[in-house]
Amino acid sequence: MPRTALLVSTAVLAALLSPTVSQAADDPAPVPVDRFEGEVPFASQPAEGIFTWGSDSDDPPALQLTARPDAPEGEKVLTGTYDISGYGGFTHDFAATAPGHDWSAHKGIRFWWDGQDNGRKIAFEIKDGGANGEASELWTTSFTDDFTGWKQIEIPFADFVYRTDYQPVGGIDHVLGLTSMWGYAVTLPVGVEGRFAMDDVELYGKADQSLRASVTTDAAVHPVKEGGTATVEVTLATTGSAPVDEPVTVAYRTAGGTAEPGKDYVPVSGTLTFPAGTASGATRTVTVHTLKDRSAEPAETIPLELTVTGAKPPAETPQVVVDAHGLPYLNPKLPVRRRVADLLSRMSLQEKAGQMTQAERGAVGEGGDIAAYDLGSLLSGGGSTPTPNTPAAWAKMIDGFQLRAQATRFQIPLIYGVDAVHGHNNLVGATIMPHNIGIGATRDPGLAEQAGAVTASEVRATGIPWDFAPCLCVSRDERWGRSYESFGEDPALVTSMETVVQGLQGAANGKDLKRNDKVLATAKHFVGDGGTEYGSSTTGSYTIDQGVTKVTRQQLEAVHLAPYRTAVDRGVGTVMPSYSSLDILGDGRGPVKMHARADMINGVLKGRMGFGGFVISDWNAIDQLPGDYPAHVRTAVNAGVDMMMVPYGYRDFTAALIAEVKAGRVTERRIDDAVSRILTQKFRLGLFEKPYADTSNAARIGSAAHRAVARRAAAESQVLLKNAGGVLPLRKSQKVYVAGSNADDIGNQSGGWTVTWQGSSGNIVPGTTILQGMRNAGGHVTWSKDASAPTGGYDVGVVVVGETPYAEGVGDVGNGHDLQLSAADKAAVDKVCAAMKCAVLIVSGRPQLIGDRLGGIDALVASWLPGTEGDGVADVLYGKRPFTGQLPVTWPKSEAQLPINVGDASYDPQFPYGWGLTTLTKAPHGGAITLRALAVAAAVAERAGADHAGRALVTRARLIVQEKVGEDMTAAVAKPFADADHLSLTGKYGAAVRRLEVAYRAA
């Protein structure tokens, strides 16, 4: 049937004859992108293809290529059905193995859409620059489905805007270059069941110069001291760096703003010209002279209006800013409290609300809203990074945001925060430490402090003064997806590791915070997040994270609050409440979200404990509070939360907070308290004097010295649980067969919160895998990941198994995770251990259930998540360092035992809390008489306050008991053994040895 006979619709004929779709004589021919005839498969990166996506398993649309007689072009069209609750759509990515496509010769992109007349907006995105379709900039626009039947939708490239709510790589250059395009994406309507049809995506028209050429300025903000001269550079840029065909003119004039012409500055106006043939990158300058008037003043703005002809104008009007001067708060010689009081007295309610607001960097785009909303803080969530992800790019990005804050009246600097929870883990190339559970296993407070110091140095060197760490949770249930963020299950152990606060911040009085290698620390998550009850979470598919902690008041004080008392004494600068709810048995309130617990934040933390820093909310945590949004805001603020982490909702938060204050539901006094606390830390950090990045320590990021600390931490974190026949340490002369999923995977051994929020398997960061570490140690190693290689002729096998990365509730047991080894890992263990003597290393964030295989394993090691320095693991495997680590949590026999913790009335684990064999060359010997003598000596050391000697005596007694127990662990042994470690951590050395005597007699 002829094609013309098929197109019988009047609407289609009208569209075909419409001037909007006709081709001008000098236009290039349309270039097909998608014909939907089957030439592009349903596939995904790195191959070219069309693929779907969505916020959950139900949200991706169902797509197919459908033959239709009314197809505007060809025989088939793309059709689909959808019913989306969160977000969903589809993408066509070009092949990542080939160069991006050049669309710069065309005016725009167009396609046919089969209208359903549902009035819904449909977002259409194009992908510009970067490495591939999934690592490119997203530029977006939309059209409305308010018609019926086929209609050709034409979208000029000039209509696309840079997405500020989401960028997969954090932005490349924020310029729609069109010379390296990677495809397009369609986001379908939410909340309505629907269908669609689409056909013939193509490039059309001739690009006009205003699309190919743009005028930019060197910065949006140009601060200058009063009486100084500001120079604004105006630059011509073109796609592909081609010279302009037509002249470009830029008329400029100073107008508006808060500065007064003739009094504060000399007005200027004029025209800059870039003649035809001017090359891309050509620059002209405009100078603005400011005047001195000898009076103390806030900052004043001088907008430089630019009117551009022949090119795209700058996205915003550049501003010259005359710096604030002469005001007391600017005087660094004054005490901090006086500077805070002076500044606070000058601020408006809007400016105060801005200081209490923290936005995600991805939400503010180029940063114009920083000044518009007087924002006090920005953060990078997990995986929110600049491109490229380098120290220099981080510093440049943060300096750009700090520059925006200079356009505010009082030029209050931003405080930028990041989750550096085991090193500067968002930064590729940083030193990645073991996660906290491994640091807890070291029982080495000095090492914890060193690890914190390395982290602080690397974080501050990229311009970041604030770290959302350490996590002081006391983890009581290994089913929790955040278990590895805890130093352990014993509050005494957690408290002992809080030396990390000094590593991060320096002296407890805050005098070191101005240093270029220190950052503000955050004690999180206040309070009880580690005690949530399994099955109590109401967050999505989480089972335990963000759930309910049910405790008596005595349990709350002894277990969960204890670490915060120490943190406050150590001068921790900020505290973050937990997402979880607290149910104090007997108080009659039931479960209450921590962000709403004024009794705990205002009453206990700020009141009883005397915390003088500020309280920062968790990510969008107020959205989980009951009531409407104004209720969320006033409840959290009145409960004592001083700054709200509202990543993409900062406009709504500031508006709601201001309204609540004006309505009298939040007092001005409360606002002033919150802002005073925030400003105090900004002054202590020296941000008013030095808001920009000090990168002098950048060369130390990932340095040999820093990695040496991480290597030592990895070595000390290894816990030797079993060592029958002295299989470990290995000898370099032995032929070693290495297998298992985690032997050669640096992503797995680093865990969650590594480069991205959830982390990922594979070669994601520089460092050394355990396998490479063994090779570096000089071992005679053969590697077979799945143990498929022949196993004959080897002296010993090393099987490295365990978990793949996860973070937070995503890793909860029951949410797609369990405590069992994978089938492949079990098979590798079984095969290797049946063929030879074997050592099994478990790389994981929590204990794995290994009991059914324990008899066939000669040596068992809890390796935790050692980070990037696999050499440290090899150091103990080959005896360069002895195994000295101890279990920071109880290792259960079965999931049915959970939760199981030191101090439980019923306690019969696989391995008790505190267990850890050693490979010291001279292990201590002795029996009951020796233990009795050690108990006496330990009591003497305790009375004398000789902690080092007391701990050494307990360690000697512990090793004697372990030697006798061997593999014959019983409940009668386990309970007093675990109790002894807790007692030792609380300084009760005599009692600790006496409990070890009980364990010895029971063995």
d(CA 382, CA 757): 4
Beta-bridged to residue 148, according to DSSP, are 116
Beta-bridged to residue 358, according to DSSP, are 377, 645
For 642-771, where are the E strands, in sequence order?
Answer: 644-645, 719-723, 735-739
Residue pair 916/963 in contact by the 8 Å Cβ criterion = no
Cα-Cα-Cα-Cα dihedral sign, residues 706, 710, 711, 715? positive
The structure tokens 């049910």 sit at 550
Query: Among 11-25, 374-388, 800-814, which stretch is predicted with the lowest mean pLDDT?
Result: 11-25
Residue pair 760/806 in contact by the 8 Å Cβ criterion = no
Residue pair 71/77 in contact by the 8 Å Cβ criterion = yes
| pLDDT at position 171 | 67
| pLDDT at position 337 | 98
Looking from the CA of 873 toward its CB, the CA atoms found within 13 Å total 35
Which structure tokens are listed for 974? 């386990």
Residue 15: pLDDT over 70 = no
Confidence (pTM) = 0.87
Residue pair 11/176 in contact by the 8 Å Cβ criterion = no
Per-residue pLDDT reduced to its tens digit, 225-245: 999 999 999 999 987 678 998
Residue 572: pLDDT over 90 = yes
Name the nearest CA neighbour of 709 among 907, 872, 824, 952. 872
Q: Compute CA 176 distance to the chain's CA centroid, rounded to the nearest angstrom.
A: 27
Kind and range of the H or E run holding 31: strand 31-34
CA distances from residue 524 to 281, 561, 611, 613 in whole angstroms, order as listed: 48, 11, 14, 13
d(CA 315, CA 308): 11
The order of strands in the sheet holding 719-723 is 719-723, 859-864, 838-843, 796-802, 735-739, 780-783
Residue pair 11/148 in contact by the 8 Å Cβ criterion = yes
pLDDT category of residue 170 using cuts at 50, 70 and 90: low
Between 618 and 924, where is the model more confident? 618
Name the percent of the chain lying above pLDDT 70.
97
Residues sharing a CB contact under 8 Å with residue 233, sequence separation 6 or more, in sequence order: 217, 218, 283, 284, 285
| pLDDT at position 19 | 38
Mean pLDDT taken over the chain: 95
The percent helix, strand, coil of the chain (3-state, each to 5) is 30, 25, 45
| pLDDT at position 56 | 80
Tell me the residue length of the chain: 1003
HEC string for 457-484: HHHHCCCCCEECCCECCCCCCCCCCCHH
Phi, psi of 204 (to 5 degrees): -140, 160
pLDDT category of residue 921 using cuts at 50, 70 and 90: confident
d(CA 132, CA 48): 10
Residues designated as active site: 618, 808
Residue 984: pLDDT over 50 = yes
Residue 458: pLDDT over 70 = yes
**DSSP per-residue codes, 596-632:** G-HIIIIIIIIIIS---SEEB--TTGGGGSSS-HHHH
Phi, psi of 566 (to 5 degrees): -65, -40
